[in-house]
Amino acid sequence: MTISNYIQENETRFLNELYDFLRIPSVSTDPKFEPHILKTADFLAAKLQKAGAENIEICQTPRYPIVYADKIIDPNLPTVLVYGHYDVQPADPYDLWTTPPFEPTVRNGKVYARGASDDKGQMYLHIKAFEAMVQTDSLACNIKFMFEGEEESGSDGLAWFVEKEQERLKSDIILISDTGMISNELPSITVGLRGMSYVEVEVTGPNRDLHSGLYGGAVANPIQVLAEMITKLKDENNRITIPNFYDKVAELSAEERAEMAKIPHSEEIYRADLDLKTTDGEKGYSTIERASIRPTLDVNGIWGGYIGEGAKTVLPSKAYAKISTRLVPNQQHEEITQLIANYLQEIAPQTVTVKVTPHHGAVPAVVSTKSIAYQAASKAYETAFGVKPVPVRSGGSIPIVPMFKEKLGADSMMMGFGLDSDAIHSPDESFGIFNYLKGIETIPLFYQYFAELNQ
Amino acid sequence: MTISNYIQENETRFLNELYDFLRIPSVSTDPKFEPHILKTADFLAAKLQKAGAENIEICQTPRYPIVYADKIIDPNLPTVLVYGHYDVQPADPYDLWTTPPFEPTVRNGKVYARGASDDKGQMYLHIKAFEAMVQTDSLACNIKFMFEGEEESGSDGLAWFVEKEQERLKSDIILISDTGMISNELPSITVGLRGMSYVEVEVTGPNRDLHSGLYGGAVANPIQVLAEMITKLKDENNRITIPNFYDKVAELSAEERAEMAKIPHSEEIYRADLDLKTTDGEKGYSTIERASIRPTLDVNGIWGGYIGEGAKTVLPSKAYAKISTRLVPNQQHEEITQLIANYLQEIAPQTVTVKVTPHHGAVPAVVSTKSIAYQAASKAYETAFGVKPVPVRSGGSIPIVPMFKEKLGADSMMMGFGLDSDAIHSPDESFGIFNYLKGIETIPLFYQYFAELNQ
């Protein structure tokens, strides 16, 4: 039987298995979810077994386990290493979800749940594609699976694992579905990713919370100071003011920018989707450029003083912010983190003390459209979707891509099936049923073309 | 037996009763504490009964009850209306307390608990002073008690009650202990209070939380915008930039400022107490002036985005801040609230929508040192402490003082026994055992002198 027939016949089961997967709240950023992370690893191991994988192992790491499995059918065939992450972002604020984040619900052709698109849905479709190839005897490459449980919190365990398992993880290409497409009518392949530097800032004024009536006006308020420091991070043109921040930024040629300008984009639709009167960003660049080829800085969280119900007249001792920057090729995240820390100390007034704590970082990456992997992926999308996909640079970061290149010497191919409207990292995250099934159909085609092109 | 003897003999019981009072978490700003508020009212009614008060009534209001009681001994004697509040500020952050906020603990001569000084301790000493006068047959005035349970959240019920109970609350002076003294060696009487305007600001950008990697740099971040708006509230001289904010501020004469400058104050000690390198405030004014005769603005709370453990790369839909101003004589809080709201809308960029919600406000007030009440209070402190008290302007607000003047036509006399080091509104709030007992000793002297001076 053909792969497509097999997929059709097993559609309902493929979907129900995904829903079971989504029900486990595998949040990696908050330690209290640890038991669920471990349960998820067991779930995956069992599913890989049923799908026909071999050498299945739940590999311990300093933090959360990595689920490994493989099927080596012929040493002469190319080997594909499939990577994905089974952990998810925190789901809060819970009250903004239409249906609970860990009770997958289907509405208008999409399944709503935390991790539906990032990355459980996009990851699980690889296991189902694998099952389909095995059951229809059409496996065209050797396959290795490596699924981690802490991508949303730095992938430390993965780096450790890859370092010591270079032999076992040897492959010709690493396949990742953790990105999006322009639309279901116009598939796209991510050829660029931004890097990241993420820091937490603690501003301390007086040694204790004070009564704002008795001390207000005579003692500097840490919230006010933090606000003024954040304001100093950008200028009136939305350029980041951190000294030397732009020094190593790879500027695109006029040709490359002209090429990008062809990507379909409507400011009206973009604004309407977000209920915005206007977009805003670095002067001299388009919305698409601002969100892909340019480095950015965002305050991801801020808190201080009394944030409960009602009014409390406190002049707080401390104020905090989580600040991240997205980096483009040639920017080094360790260096940027240092620049940010130095600048924050430099602009901190005498009235406070400032502590900067680095969180995880990520290196930017770019993929060549000339590569065999890109060609195979492009043909696979074209066959499955009936449209030639376009290459795009994504604003997001997949920290592990450059790490794989360094430790395993292999390039990564990013075949994403998500959409911007999936609202990943937000309440009401979703993944299209169409996209899930289309992914299961597209992946085997990639293996077929990748094997052919490698001959 | 003399009053002082009676106080000495009953010292231990007086203290234990206070501790029982402090054990009830009567937080009025958070609805979930309501049962405790009601329990506190019952506690007070019972204690007033035992102390010898009459016509005790727990009076219902639109919100929290007011406990009333009186003892009218002779229509020809002046009548004193004692006001106090039995509610307290929220105790969070709980983890910053050395011992739990609602388990009063005595260390180095002070009792530590939320409300110890503001206002349960200072309020309860009036009931014990009353008991002492009744038991020693030395009551010199008619007395009325009015204790409310929502001073920390706007005193709406009190305003409602005072409006309809003007006859029952008739008095020659209103006596309040809800302020501080300079030190136990140099008592002081508060003759000025700042008013207040308190608003909550909600800044909304995109209609949902976004992935900062995919949208960052192209969509304005509400936290960044809020920070920039807060920065625009003050200039480089720490002057508030809200248009017309200072228009009605009553400026002090050179003489008055020279008089204030005599109040003992050490910048070193002040800074050391707060672990600050430097103080900071409106240019051209001293620390004491900044915290008493000048209007101020403080951000009492700020929050937005991801504030949990670890790192989340979100570009939030909303950011919030609680902002309050302290007002001086002639500034109208309703007017200031409007000025703040208008200015926040005016400086809000196109990229967001801003919602401003007013919380409670308060009118500034000043008391004359020539009044009989002030003279009686001054003599009472002098007799009890052996030192003539100095008049000071406090930076805090007691919203109800001007309200009493308007509705009841009576002035308020603020006889505080607290100290700055009591850390009211902060973790580890405390009240000196010395101050509590000294207060019980001082109050009867006030009644005596007030009766004499009224003859």
Largest interatomic CA distance in chain B: 81
Q: Say whether B351 and A280 touch across the interface (CB within 8 A).
A: yes
Q: What is the mean pLDDT of residues B144-164?
A: 93
Chain B residues in contact with A275 by the CB 8 A cut-off are 206-207
Asked if the model's pLDDT at residue A172 lies above 90, the reply is yes
Top CATH class, B3-193+364-453: alpha beta
- Give the model's confidence band at B437: pLDDT under 50 very low, under 70 low, under 90 confident, else very high: very high
Strand A353-362 with A195-204, pairing: antiparallel
Count of residues making up chain B:
455
| CATH architecture for residues A195-249+295-361 | 2-Layer Sandwich (3.30)
The per-residue DSSP string of B277-320 comes to S----STTS-HHHHTTTS-EEEEEEEEEE--SSS---EE-SEEE
Helix (H) or strand (E) holding B379: helix B372-385
Q: What is the mean pLDDT of residues A329-347?
A: 96
Q: Say whether A306 and B300 touch across the interface (CB within 8 A).
A: yes
Phi, psi of B274, rounded to the nearest 5 degrees: -105, 0
More confident residue, A58 or A402: A58
Chain B residues in contact with A300 by the CB 8 A cut-off are 212, 305-306, 311-316
What percent of chain B stands above pLDDT 70?
100
Q: How far is A380 from chain B, CA to nearest CA, in Å? A: 25
- Give the model's confidence band at A443: pLDDT under 50 very low, under 70 low, under 90 confident, else very high: very high
pLDDT tens by residue, A75-87:
999 999 999 999 9
pTM: 0.75
Q: Say whether B196 and A213 touch across the interface (CB within 8 A).
A: yes
pLDDT tens by residue, B269-308:
999 999 999 999 999 999 999 998 999 999 999 999 999 8
Two domains, one topology: A3-193+364-453 and A195-249+295-361: no
Closest Cβ opposite residue A212 in set B276, B290, B298: B298
Do B68 and B133 touch, CB atoms closer than 8 A? no
Closest to A113 in 3D by CA, of A98, A93, A134, A124: A98
Chain B within 8 Å of A231 (Cβ-Cβ)? yes
pLDDT tens by residue, A49-69:
999 999 999 999 999 999 999
Asked if the model's pLDDT at residue B47 lies above 90, the reply is yes
Closest Cβ opposite residue A214 in set B238, B291, B294: B291
Closest Cβ opposite residue B194 in set A213, A275, A424: A213
Closest to A174 in 3D by CA, of A437, A406, A425, A430: A406
Chain B within 8 Å of A237 (Cβ-Cβ)? no
Dist. CA B278–CA A144, nearest whole Å: 61
Q: How far is B143 from chain A, CA to nearest CA, in Å? A: 30
Residue that is written with structure tokens 């001299």 in the block: A284
| Residue spans per domain, chain A | 3-193+364-453, 195-249+295-361
Asked if the model's pLDDT at residue A153 lies above 80, the reply is yes
Best of A426, A428, A430 to disrupt the B interface (most B CBs within 10 Å) is: A426
Asked if the model's pLDDT at residue A367 lies above 90, the reply is no
Q: How far is A223 from chain B, CA to nearest CA, in Å? A: 6
Q: Say whether A296 and B216 touch across the interface (CB within 8 A).
A: yes
* Closest chain B residue by Cα to residue A267: B218
Chain A within 8 Å of B208 (Cβ-Cβ)? yes
Q: What is the mean pLDDT of residues B160-180?
A: 95
Do B295 and B326 touch, CB atoms closer than 8 A? yes
* Closest chain A residue by Cα to residue B235: A228
Q: Find the range with the poorest average confidence among A342-346, B35-39, B388-392.
A: B388-392
Closest to A60 in 3D by CA, of A153, A170, A148, A171: A148
The answer to whether the bond into A329 is cis (omega within 30° of 0) is: no
| CB burial string A260-281: b at 16+ within 10 A, e below | beebeeeeeebbeebebeebbb
Do A60 and A152 touch, CB atoms closer than 8 A? no
Asked if the model's pLDDT at residue B318 lies above 90, the reply is yes
Asked if the model's pLDDT at residue B420 lies above 90, the reply is no
CA angle (A415 as vertex; A443, A259 as ends), nearest 5? 135
- Give the model's confidence band at B309: pLDDT under 50 very low, under 70 low, under 90 confident, else very high: confident
Do B404 and B410 touch, CB atoms closer than 8 A? yes
Q: How far is B422 from chain A, CA to nearest CA, in Å? A: 10
What percent of chain B stands above pLDDT 90?
83
Q: Tell me the Ramachandran region of residue B151: left when phi exceeds 0, alpha when psi lies from -120 to 50, beta otherwise.
A: alpha
B107 burial (CB, 10 Å; 0-12 / 13-18 / 19+) is exposed
Asked if the model's pLDDT at residue A399 lies above 80, the reply is no
Q: Say whether B308 and A29 touch across the interface (CB within 8 A).
A: yes
Q: What is the CB neighbour count within 10 angstroms for residue A251?
A: 11
pLDDT tens by residue, B337-382:
999 999 999 999 999 999 999 997 888 878 888 899 999 999 999 9
Q: Say whether A313 and B307 touch across the interface (CB within 8 A).
A: no
Tell me the torsion sign for CA atoms A58, A59, A65, A66: negative
Closest Cβ opposite residue A217 in set B282, B314, B423: B282
- Give the model's confidence band at A28: pLDDT under 50 very low, under 70 low, under 90 confident, else very high: very high
Q: What is the mean pLDDT of residues B116-123?
A: 98
Q: In A, residues 139-168, which contact B (CB 8 Å cutoff)?
A: 152-154
pLDDT of residue A146: 98
Residue that is written with structure tokens 């890097």 in the block: A195
Q: Say whether B312 and A425 touch across the interface (CB within 8 A).
A: yes
Q: In A, residues 51-80, which contact B (CB 8 Å cutoff)?
A: none
Q: Say whether B302 and A305 touch across the interface (CB within 8 A).
A: yes
Dist. CA A205–CA A203, nearest whole Å: 7
Q: Say whether B211 and A425 touch across the interface (CB within 8 A).
A: yes
Find all residues with CB under 8 Å of B259, minimum gap 6, and list them. none
Integer CA distances (angstroms), A290 to A287, A396, B33, in order: 5, 12, 49
Q: In B, residues 240-299, which contact A (CB 8 Å cutoff)?
A: 274-282, 287-288, 290-291, 294-299
Dist. CA A218–CA B293, nearest whole Å: 11
B62 burial (CB, 10 Å; 0-12 / 13-18 / 19+) is exposed
Chain A within 8 Å of B210 (Cβ-Cβ)? yes
Q: Say whether A306 and B322 touch across the interface (CB within 8 A).
A: yes
Here the ipTM equals 0.74
Question: What type of residue is B66?
Answer: I
Closest Cβ opposite residue A29 in set B90, B93, B309: B309
- B70 is written with which tokens? 């009186």
Asked if the model's pLDDT at residue A369 lies above 90, the reply is no
Asked if the model's pLDDT at residue A397 lies above 80, the reply is no
Closest to A189 in 3D by CA, of A253, A263, A244, A91: A263
DSSP-derived secondary structure letter, B96: G
Asked if the model's pLDDT at residue B450 lies above 90, the reply is yes
Q: What is the CB neighbour count within 10 angstroms for residue B278?
A: 12
Asked if the model's pLDDT at residue A402 lies above 90, the reply is no
Closest Cβ opposite residue B231 in set A210, A218, A231: A231
3-state helix/strand/coil string of chain A: CCHHHHHHHHHHHHHHHHHHHHHCCCECCCHHHHHHHHHHHHHHHHHHHHHCCEEEEEECCCCCCEEEEEECCCCCCCEEEEEEECCECCCCCHHHCCCCCCCCEEECCEEECCCCCCCHHHHHHHHHHHHHHHHCCCCCCEEEEEEECCHHHCCHHHHHHHHHCCCCCCCCEEEECCCECCCCCCCEEEEEECEEEEEEEEEECCCCCEEHHHHECCECCHHHHHHHHHHCCECCCCCECCCCCCCCCCCCCHHHHHHHHCCCCCHHHHHHHHCCCCCCCCCCCCHHHHCCCCCEEEEEEEEEECCCCCCCCEECCEEEEEEEEEECCCCCHHHHHHHHHHHHHHHCCCCCEEEEEEEEEECCEECCCCCHHHHHHHHHHHHHHCCCCEEEECCCCCCHHHHHHHHHCCCEEECCCECHHHCCCCCCCEEEHHHHHHHHHHHHHHHHHHHHHHC
Q: Say whether B227 and A224 touch across the interface (CB within 8 A).
A: no
- Give the model's confidence band at A343: pLDDT under 50 very low, under 70 low, under 90 confident, else very high: very high
Best of A274, A309, A398 to disrupt the B interface (most B CBs within 10 Å) is: A274
- B102 is written with which tokens? 């609602």
Chain B within 8 Å of A354 (Cβ-Cβ)? no
* Closest chain B residue by Cα to residue A221: B298
SS3 B328: coil
Closest Cβ opposite residue A230 in set B224, B278, B295: B224
pLDDT of residue B67: 98
- A296 is written with which tokens? 């950015």
Dist. CA B303–CA A341, nearest whole Å: 22
Asked if the model's pLDDT at residue B44 lies above 90, the reply is yes
Asked if the model's pLDDT at residue B395 lies above 80, the reply is no
Do A360 and A334 touch, CB atoms closer than 8 A? no
Closest Cβ opposite residue A308 in set B92, B294, B424: B92
Chain B within 8 Å of A217 (Cβ-Cβ)? yes
Do B219 and A280 touch, CB atoms closer than 8 A? yes
Dist. CA A124–CA A128, nearest whole Å: 7
More confident residue, A312 or B267: B267
pLDDT of residue A255: 86
Closest to B336 in 3D by CA, of B268, B237, B248, B254: B248
Dist. CA A192–CA B169, nearest whole Å: 75
Closest to A238 in 3D by CA, of A207, A288, A281: A281
Do A31 and A91 touch, CB atoms closer than 8 A? no
Dist. CA B235–CA B231, nearest whole Å: 8
Q: What is the mean pLDDT of residues B131-136?
A: 98
Best of B306, B317, B326 to disrupt the A interface (most A CBs within 10 Å) is: B306
Find all residues with CB under 8 Å of B361, minimum gap 6, and list them. B195, B196, B197, B198, B333, B334, B336, B337, B399
Dist. CA B290–CA B312, nearest whole Å: 40
Cα radius of gyration (chain B): 23
Do A122 and A178 touch, CB atoms closer than 8 A? yes
The per-residue DSSP string of B398-428 comes to -THHHHHHHHH---EEE---B-GGG-TTSTT
